[in-house]
Chains A and B, each alone.
Chain A
Amino acid sequence: MGDIAFFPEQASTLAGQVDLLYFFLIAVSVFFALLIFSLIYLFAVRYRRRSEDDVPKEISGLLKLEILWSVIPLILVLFVFGWGATLYFDAYNPPKDAMEIYVVGKQWMWYIQHPTGQREINKLHIPVNKPVKLTMATEDVIHSFYVPAFRVKKDVVPGMYTTMWFNAIKTGEYHLFCAEYCGTKHSQMIGTVVVMEQADYQKWLSGNDSNEPLSVTGEKKFQQLACHTCHKDKANGRGPSLVGIFGKQAQLQNGQIITVDEDYIRKSILNPGDDVIAGYKPVMPTFQGQISEVGLLQITAYIKSLANSGSK
C-alpha cells in the first residue's frame, strides 16, 4: 500500500473513539451488504430461468420473516444511535478546565486569538494533552472549523458564538480546513494546527510576548468606546456593573433568568434592547457596525477577567 492512507491520523482523545464506532459500522455494513449480495447472487443463479414456460409458485410473504428483518436492524441501529450520541455529547461539551482560545473566521482566513495576547493567522499552536476550548465567531458568512485528525468540526455562524473542544494526544502538524462553503477561495481557507510538547509550547508563548493579554486590549477598547461611563465598578451607573458578573445568573426585566456568558455579552453589545437586566432601563445604544468580532472578543475577555477579580 506504500504511502496510501485509508484513515486519518488519530491525534485527539476523541479520534480513537470515533474510529472504533466507525469500524463497528463498517463491520455491520459489510455483514449486511455481503448477506444481501450473496443472497441475490445465489437466487439469481440457482433460480435462473431455464425455460420460457417456467411458472414459479407464488410466495406472498411471511410475517415472521418481515418481523425478523425489521426488528434486528432496529435493535442494531438503536444501539448505534446510543453509542454515537454519547460520543457526540462528549465531543461538544468541553471540560471545565479547558484552556480557552478564540477563533474568528473571515473570508478567507482563520484568525486565532490566544487569551495571553498571541495572535495567529491560519495557524493554531496548542500544547499536547491539554483540553482546548475554542470560542468561535465569524465576520461574514458561515464557516466551519474542521480538524480531521481530531475528528471534530463545528460551524462558525454569524450572529452567535459557537464552541468546540479537543484534547490533542500526539505532537505534530495537522490540517485545518474550512468545511462549510464560504465563497470563492473556500478551498484556500485552510491552515495548520501545531500540537507541541508543553515545554515547546511555553517557549512558543514566550517567543510571542510582544502582545499584551487579550483582557488588557479589551479594557482599552472598553474605555475607548466609553462603556465605563455607564458600566461602573459599583452598581451606581446607568448600566449594571460588570464586575464579578461573568458566569453568574441574572434576572431580566421579563423575569427570565439567564446566565451571563460570551453569547449574552455579545448580544448585549450588538442588540442591547433585547435582554435588559431587571432594574435597568433599555437606554444603551447598539454598537453594531462600530465593533468587529475581534473587538467583541477582546471586550468579552476583559469582562471575563473581572469575574474573578471581585474588585478592580
Chain B
Amino acid sequence: MSTAIFKPRPEQVAQESDGTVSNYLNASFSIRSWLLTVDHKRIAILYLISISAMFFLGGIFAMLIRMELLTPAGDLMQSETYNKMFTMHGVVMVFFFLIPATPAVFGNFLLPLMIGAKDLAFPRLNLLSWYLYTAGALLAIGSIVFGGVDTGWTFYTPYSTTYANSNVILAALGAFIAGFSSILTGLNFIVTIHKMRAPGLTWFKMPLFVWGHYATSIIQVLGTPVVAITIILVALERLFHIGIFNPELGGDPILFQHLFWFYSHPAVYIMILPAMGVISEVITCFSKKKVFGYEFIALSSMAIALLGFLVWGHHMYTSGQSTYASLVFSVLTFLVAIPSAIKVFNWTATLYKGSVSYDAPMLYAIGFLGLFTIGGLTGVFLATLAVDVHVHDTYFIVAHFHYIMVGGSIMGYMAALHFWWPKITGRLYPEGWARFSALIIFIGFNLTFFPQFVVGYLGMPRRYHIYPEEFQIWNVFSTAGSSILGIGYLIPLIYLIWSLKSGPKASPNPWNAKGLEWERCPSPPPTHNFDHTPVVIEEAYAYEHKIWIK
C-alpha cells in the first residue's frame, strides 16, 4: 500500500553537527547568497518582499483616493494629482502586485515541492525574472518620483500618446519590463510542469494548484508579448509621431483598445487562476476531504485560459466598435462564466460531509468564495450588452473588478500566505489574530465596495475627482470601509513579521495536509527539497488514507 511510500525517511531530518536542521533559510546568510540565489524558494522570498512593498505602495494611493472622495468637492488635492493617484494605484496594483503576486511568490515556492522536483526547470532564468520585475518596479516608482503619470492604468490613446504631459514612457516601460518577468516565469512553469514531475505524478494526480498555475502560465506566455508590442507602439507614436493610434497621424484609437484588452482581459485570469488553485488546496485540507469533481476544476482552469482570450471586446461595447462584434464578444463572455461557476459549485460540494475546521486560511478561502461569487455574478451583468452600456465606466465596474481582484485574488493570496507560512518560514503565526484579521478584511472589503455597485448604477462615472452631491452618502460608506480594510491588511503585516522571530516552531505538517510539500518536506524545506525523488502513487487529496506525518 501507499503507506510505506509516505513514511518519513530518517535521512530527511538530517541534522547539522550543532543540532540545528539545515534548511534553505539557514544554509547561508550573506546578502550575496540571497541576491544571487538560484533556489526557487529564496527567489520566492525575494518576490514576497518586493511584492509586499508594492502592495502597500498601491494601498497608500488607494487610501488617498478614498480620502479625496469622502466629499463631492475636490478639496484634498488638485484634479491633476487625483488623476495621478488613481493611475498609479492601478499601475502598481495590476502590473506589480496582482499579476505577479500568487505565481511569483507561491507558484515559485511550491511548484517544485508539489511535483517532487528539486527546483524549477531554469533556475537562473527564474532569478532573472525577479531582477526584471525589480527593474520594472523601480522604473514605475521612478515615474512617480519624477512627477507621476495621469493616463489611467489603461493608457488609452490618443490621450497617452499625444495629449498627456506626464511620465507615460517611464511608467509604460516599467510595465513593459515587468512583462518579461511574467513571460519568463510562465515559460519556466510550463517546462517544469511538463518535464519535472516526480515518477508516478501523472497530469490528473497533480494538485489543482499546479493546474491553476499551468493555465496561468499559458496566458502569460501567449498574452504578455501582445501588451509588450502595444507599449512599444505607444512609445513610437509618443516619441516619434509615427501614426498608429492617433487619427491625425493616420492611426486608429480603437486599435489600441483591441490590442490592450487582448492582453489585459486574459491578465484578469492571470490574477484569478492561481488564487483559484490556492482555494482548491485550502478547502480540501480544512474539510479533510478529496476535492469534489477534480477533473472539472482542473479542466475548467484550462477552459478559462483559452476562452479568456476570446472575450476582450466586452470592454468596448460603447467604444464605437461594430455592434455585431459586441454581440459575439457578449456571447463568448457568457460562456466563460460557466467554468467559474463550475468551480464554485465544486468547492461548495467539497464541504459536504467533510470535517470542516475554521483555521485562518479556511476563513480566507470561505471569504474568497463569498466575494468571488458576488464578483462573478456581477460580471454577468456586465456581459449583458444593454446593461453594460449604462454601467460601463461607472463605479459599478469599479466595484465588480475589485470583488474579483481584491475579493478573489487577494483573498486567495492571503489564504495562501497563511496556509503555507509555516512551511515557508518554519514558524506559526498567532491563530486568533489571523482569524480576526480575516474577519476585518471581509467586513472592510464589503463596506468599501458594495456601495459602489449602487452608486455606479446611479450613474457615478469612475475616475471622477469631483462628483455631484447626491452620490456622497455611498462614497462615505466606501471611505469608511476602506479604512477598516486598510487596518485589516496591516494586522497580518505585524503578526507575520512578529512570528518570524517569536512564533512557535512549525512541524512539517501543522495542518495534517496532503501533498508532497507537507508530507515529504520539513518546515522549512532543505535547499534541495527532497533527499530522494518521491514516487507518487496516490491521487491528489487522498485524505481518506490518513497517513500524514504529524
Contact = CB atoms under 8 A, between A and B. Distances in A.
A175 B390 CA distance: 13
Interface string A45-61: 00111101011111111
B458 interface: yes
B291 to A, nearest CB: 9
Contacts of B320: 154-155, 157, 160, 162
B290 A177 contact: no
A142 B323 CA distance: 18
A154 B349 CA distance: 43
A22 B457 contact: yes
A43 B458 contact: no
B246 A158 contact: yes
A161 B155 CA distance: 22
Interface in B195-223: none
A160 B342 CA distance: 42
A136 B246 CA distance: 18
Interface in B28-73: none
Interface stretch (A88-96, A197-205, A275-283): A88-96
Interface stretch (A32-40, A125-133, A211-219, A242-250): A32-40
A29 B68 CA distance: 32
Interface stretch (A178-186, A224-232, A253-261): A178-186
Contacts of B370: 37, 40
A189 B519 CA distance: 61
Interface string B313-355: 0000111100100110011001101100110111011011111
A65 B355 contact: no
Interface residues of B, number: 97
Contacts of A58: 289-290, 542-544
A85 interface: yes
B386 A184 contact: no
B543 A56 contact: yes
A33 B373 contact: yes
Interface in A143-183: 144, 146, 148-149, 151-155, 157-160, 162, 175, 177-183
A21 interface: yes
Contact of A56 (B151, B250, B353): B353
B531 interface: no
Contacts of B164: 183
A149 B459 CA distance: 8
A4 B351 contact: no
Contacts of A85: 327, 330, 385-386
Contacts of B252: 159
Contact of B386 (A21, A33, A142, A148): A21
A291 interface: no
Contacts of A235: none
A270 B513 CA distance: 68
Interface in B241-279: 246-248, 250-254
A286 B329 CA distance: 36
Contacts of B461: 146, 177-179, 187
A5 B338 contact: no
Interface in B466-481: 466-468, 470, 473
B468 A22 contact: no
Nearest to A185: B79
Interface string B524-548: 0000000000000000001110100
Q: DSSP majority for the A interface? A: mixed
A287 interface: no
Contacts of A54: 288, 355
Contacts of B338: 70, 73-74, 77
B433 to A, nearest CB: 21
A47 B287 contact: yes
B384 interface: yes
B393 A44 contact: no
A220 to B, nearest CB: 25
B390 to A, nearest CB: 4
Given A32-B377, A56-B544, A188 B156 contact: no
Interface string A11-46: 000100110011001001100110011011001100
B294 interface: yes
A61 B326 CA distance: 37
Given A58-B289, A88-B389, A159-B253, A77 B334 contact: yes
A84 interface: yes
Interface string B350-362: 0111111110000
A249 to B, nearest CB: 20
A159 to B, nearest CB: 3
Please indicate which of the listed interface residues A22, A66, A179, A186 has the most CB atoms of chain B within 10 Å of its own CB: A186
A178 B254 CA distance: 18
A141 B384 contact: no
A66 B319 contact: no
Contacts of B226: none
Given A48-B356, A58-B543, A69-B341, 16 more contacts: A5-B458, A6-B457, A36-B344, A44-B366, A47-B351, A50-B355, A61-B293, A61-B346, A65-B349, A66-B342, A77-B337, A81-B331, A88-B326, A144-B318, A152-B389, A183-B164
26 contacts: A32-B377, A37-B370, A44-B356, A49-B355, A56-B355, A57-B544, A58-B542, A58-B543, A59-B290, A61-B296, A62-B293, A73-B341, A77-B338, A84-B384, A84-B387, A85-B385, A88-B317, A88-B327, A89-B323, A91-B386, A153-B318, A153-B392, A158-B246, A159-B251, A183-B150, A187-B467
**Top 8 A-B pairs, shortest CB-CB distance:** A148-B459, A159-B247, A87-B386, A88-B385, A84-B384, A54-B355, A43-B351, A61-B293
